[in-house]
Structure formats: structure tokens, C-alpha cells
Amino acid sequence: METAAEPRPAELPLPGGRDGAHVSLHPLLTGRMSAPRSWLLRSEGRRAGRRPFGIGVAKQDLVEVPVPAFLVEHPGAGLILIDTGFHPSVAVNPRQNIGRVALSAFKDTQMEPGQAVSAQLRERDLSTGDIRVVVMTHLHADHASAIAEFPDATFIVSKREWEAATDAGRRHGYVRRQFDHGFDYRLLDFDGPDASSFSGFGRSFDLFGDGSVRTVFTPGHTLGHMSVVLRTKGPEVLVAGDAIYLRETLETSHLPYRVEDEHLFRRSLREIAQYRKETPDALIIPGHDWEAWQALEAEY
Ligand SMILES: [Zn+2]
């Protein structure tokens, strides 16, 4: 399908890499939603019925989930964002930005105007124009919602994800108007010869060539999903994105109700488990786990 965006292959390394660089990481909460527990962890059997979509779900079975973005400071490359969280308009009128279909399993979108990444940057005396690079774990509506806020940034997306998002529609969780802009989109081809293995992960890219920010391919939740490994001064951090909604997803390999490709999802789970085995001190941040979110520090 025709798109306004004309993505090009990413040319790595991106500028600004420094030998031995450490980044600092600031997890940002941009809003919250609630979801039926059986959406996050599927209930087996026919009786599960339509409950994953919130039909016939008692209020006490709804689980609150964070909608995060991550601000990363690199000593040479400047400010990087991982995912964009909710657009400021979601605080006023969620349907305008997200529509009704893309996040239909999620209810009660809640956002304060000050929670938008742009507002949180202003609070730090920064502006959206200071963000040089935005790494998108995937293009689902709760992650891509605020892309329009960063017209000057270079967006790093997996090639497979771009194809999936532009082929598929709202029923797969994508909202084209969120990402279809003439911005500088750069695609990572995890199927190409330049991807290399890293720890438990079969395919990865070292974005700045200095080992400080790596994207690792974790498809399954979507066909082109990727997670991000950060070398901070503290623990190594895996921003897992929706490769795992919850810590429990990793602990028990209990799948969520909906995955785009179950085989790929299980393989990515195994790779994350292998990474954890090889890097037991790493902090693994799941995509939508309220308890795990509350346990995070303000900065790493
Ligand atoms: Zn998602």
C-alpha cells in the first residue's frame, strides 16, 4: 500500500558511538490502561470465550498496565527514545489518536497531560527536537502513538515490522496515521547478512558500534518485534517490550491471549531465557507489568 513515509535501510553504526560508552536510562510512564487478565495470560479451554476482549469481565479481573517509553542518554550520540508512549491528545480524546479497534482489549485509558514524553522532556528543560534517535520495539498503537511529536528524529524500526504494520491493519493493533509520516525511517534487516548473534539472541544489531545500545530480534508478539539491550553504569538492562507483557510470561512461559506468531513468540521467549541465564544480573523490563514497573528506579 502507498505510504507517505519512504523508509531506507539503516546504515550502522549510527553517529556518536564511543568506545566503552555507558548510557543512562530513565523509564517514563506515559499513561495506563486496564486489560482482562486473560488477555495478558491466556486461559485455556473453550470457556475462555470472549473474556480476553473484556466482555463479561468483572472489574476485579481487570489488571492495570503501564504504557511506557524510555529516555536514554548516550555520551556521544545524545538523547535516544525507546518507543513513544501515548500522544498528548490521548489525555483528552483517546479515540482521535488510537481509534476504537486497535486497542480494543484494553479499557479505561488513563493519561494526565503531563505524562506525555514531550511534557516530561520539558520538565527536564529538554525539547522533542533534542531526541536524535527513536528506537521502536514495534509499531502497535500504544507504542507508536506519539511518533508525530518527533519529526526531526531518526526512527529505527525492524524491516519486518515495517512490512507487517503497513500490510496489516487496525485489527492487528496498528494505526497507520500514527506512523505514516515523511520522517527519517531507517530499517534494520534482521534477515540480512549484517545481523549477528549476541548472548542468547540469534540476531542483533549494535546501533552505535560501541556495544552500549543493541537491538535484538524478538518476533512473535508482532512479526518484526525487537527488544533493546542497554549497557548502563548499573545493571545491563533488557527493555523487552511486548516480547513479554509480564515477568510471569518469562517465569512460566505462559502465553498471552493474542500473539501474531506463536512459534516465533516461543522461540523469542527461549532466547530471552537464555540471555537471562548468561546475564543473571541483567534487569529485564517487561512491556506491560504494573508491579515490575513500580519496582523500577527513576534512573539507571
Ligand atoms: Zn504490542
What are 214's three cell numbers? 543493541
Tell me: the pLDDT tens digits for 119-147?
Answer: 999 999 999 999 999 999 999 999 999 99
Q: Find the 114 Cα to ligand 1 centroid distance in Å.
A: 23
pLDDT at site 185: 98
Mean pLDDT of 274-296: 97
pLDDT at residue 211, rounded to an integer: 98
pTM to 2 decimals? 0.94
Q: What is the mean pLDDT of residues 52-77?
A: 84
pLDDT at 56: 61
Give me ligand 1 centre to Cα 18, in Å: 32
Number of C-beta neighbours around residue 214 at 10 A: 22
Output the 3-class SS for 54-123.
Answer: CCCCCHHHEEEEEEEEEEEEECCCEEEEECCCCCHHHHCCHHHHHCCCCCCCCEEEECCHHHCHHHHHHH
Question: What's the CA angle centered on 224, arms 16 and 299, to 5 degrees?
Answer: 45
Helices (H), the chain: 37-40, 94-98, 117-123, 141-144, 159-167, 176-179, 247-252, 262-278, 290-294
State the first-to-last Cα distance of the chain, in angstroms, to the nearest integer: 41
Cα-to-centroid distance, 65 and ligand 1 (Å): 12
pLDDT in tens, 88-127: 999 999 888 988 777 777 778 999 999 999 999 999 999 9
CA 231 – ligand 1 centroid, Å: 24
Our CA dihedral for 158, 161, 165, 168, rounded to 10 degrees, sits at: 160
